[in-house]
Structure 1
Amino acid sequence: MGQGSSRLQPEELEDLQSISTFSANQIKTLYSRFKHLDKDNSGSISIEEMTAIPELAMNPLAHRVVAVFDSDGRNEVNFKQFVSALSVFSKQAKREQKLSFAFKVYDVNGDGVIDATDLFQILKLMVGSNLSDNQVQSLVDQTILEADVLDKDGAISFEEFKRAMFNADMENVLMIEI
């Protein structure tokens, strides 16, 4: 997509607008940033290049966020994936899209639920060595107990996640300016 050229073609812009919440000008701005990040001009950004972005580098969940960007699991992100994933962070993105993205970050193994193993891994990334494994496990157990209210299967489904996040200010937490 636009690979080898410094400009996106009109049909590429149209396609990207159809899969995102961005205007043509915003997509052009993103393309310029993407080209800057694509140090080897390969048409994709490696996981290492993505996690070096300052805003991501300081996030303890950076690798999980990038894993969600990397929807096909190839350890690189092409421009279409970049635009599609960043679209979730726009002001125009719906709350449901933002919640879905956050859910995917927490669903480490990608099985459609957040189980104790997923949650333990995420919390461990977030707290580092500030809490012992036993303390983290206690948080995991308590969180699942409080959130697993619909089917009581020992895991948090997307519907349960949405309920648990009811009061969260997703519109302002997951937002960037383009």
Structure 2
Amino acid sequence: MDRLLISKAVEEVRDGPFIRVNLLSVAEVDAYELRRLARRFKKLDIDGSGSLSVEEFMSLPELQQNPLVQRVIDIFDEDGNGEVDFREFIQGISQFSVKGDKNVKLKFAFRIYDIDRDGFISNGELFQVLKMMVGNNLKDSQLQQIVDKTILFHDKDGDGRISFQEFCDVSVRGCFV
């Protein structure tokens, strides 16, 4: 185990943009889990660069068939440099924790669809994400009909896009699409 990597990660989380509270509240990991994730991260970091590329992420068999893996990586990659460092990895993984806050999970799910990070899900963004999921199983025209109906049904303020609050309201009632 690389103790330096763990202590550096703890310091980055403690002193980073999310301040001290995140190691426990956002990261939702204890010391044992942090060490386990550090070992996993080190194993995935094939080139030893200290960050994970898309290719290194894709070495995980469970992600190879996931159509949304690129979106997940984009969300983990907070600084937008195309790679995920250990701090980003811990913060990203912690969003899947059973102990995690429901609102954090909703924000993560919302960000899957909010590609341009403007705080809204547009018709085009919803189409892109659904296209990733269904591939060529539907014609684009069929998929666009689903997208149009989804936006129409869930856009309560009539601005042609889904806000985070509208997304949360849908999540309480059931399925988004």
Q: TM bucket by the smaller chain?
A: 0.7 to 0.9
SS across alignment from 1:165: helix
**Contact 1:17-1:24 at 8 Å conserved across structures:** no
**Contact 2:121-2:162 at 8 Å conserved across structures:** yes
**Contact 1:51-1:66 at 8 Å conserved across structures:** no
Among all aligned residue pairs of Structure 1 and Structure 2, give the percentage whose two residues are the same amino acid. 43
Alignment partner for residue 98 of structure 1, among 85, 90, 105? Answer: 105
**Contact 1:148-1:155 at 8 Å conserved across structures:** yes
1:108 aligns with 2:128: no
**Contact 1:88-1:97 at 8 Å conserved across structures:** yes
1:136 aligns with 2:143: yes
CA displacement at 1:12 relative to structure 2? 2.4
Distance of aligned partners of 1:168 and 1:49 in 2 relative to their CA distance in 1, 3 Å threshold: farther
Which residue identity does 2:71 align to in structure 1? Answer: R
1:148 aligns with 2:163: no
Query: For the residues of structure 1 that align with 2:135 and 2:10, how far apart are their CA atoms?
Result: 42
Larger RCO (alpha carbons 8 Å, 6+ apart): 1
Match of 2:170 in 1: 164
Give the 5 Å matches for 1:21-100: 21-100=28-107
Calculate the TM-score normalised by the size of structure 1.
0.86
- CA RMSD across the alignment: 2.0
Query: For the residues of structure 2 that align with 1:168 and 1:26, how far apart are their CA atoms?
Result: 32
Q: Which moved more, 1:117-126 or 1:42-51?
A: 42-51
SS across alignment from 2:37: helix
Distance of aligned partners of 1:69 and 1:153 in 2 relative to their CA distance in 1, 3 Å threshold: same
Question: Deviations for 1:30-83, whole angstroms, at most 9, x for unmatched residues?
Answer: 000000000011110112211332222221111111100111111100000000
How many residues were matched structurally?
164
Query: For the residues of structure 2 that align with 1:86 and 1:10, how far apart are their CA atoms?
Result: 17
Q: Which moved more, 1:6-15 or 1:58-67?
A: 6-15
**Contact 1:147-1:156 at 8 Å conserved across structures:** yes
Query: For the residues of structure 2 that align with 1:147 and 1:48, how far apart are their CA atoms?
Result: 36
Query: For the residues of structure 2 that align with 1:10 and 1:110, how far apart are their CA atoms?
Result: 29
Alignment partner for residue 6 of structure 1, among 2, 8, 14? Answer: 2
Question: Deviations for 1:92-127, whole angstroms, at most 9, x for unmatched residues?
Answer: 111110010010011112111000010010111111
**Contact 1:51-1:63 at 8 Å conserved across structures:** no
* Structure 2: gaps (5+ residues): 15-21
Query: For the residues of structure 1 that align with 2:130 and 2:9, how far apart are their CA atoms?
Result: 42
Calculate the TM-score normalised by the size of structure 2.
0.86
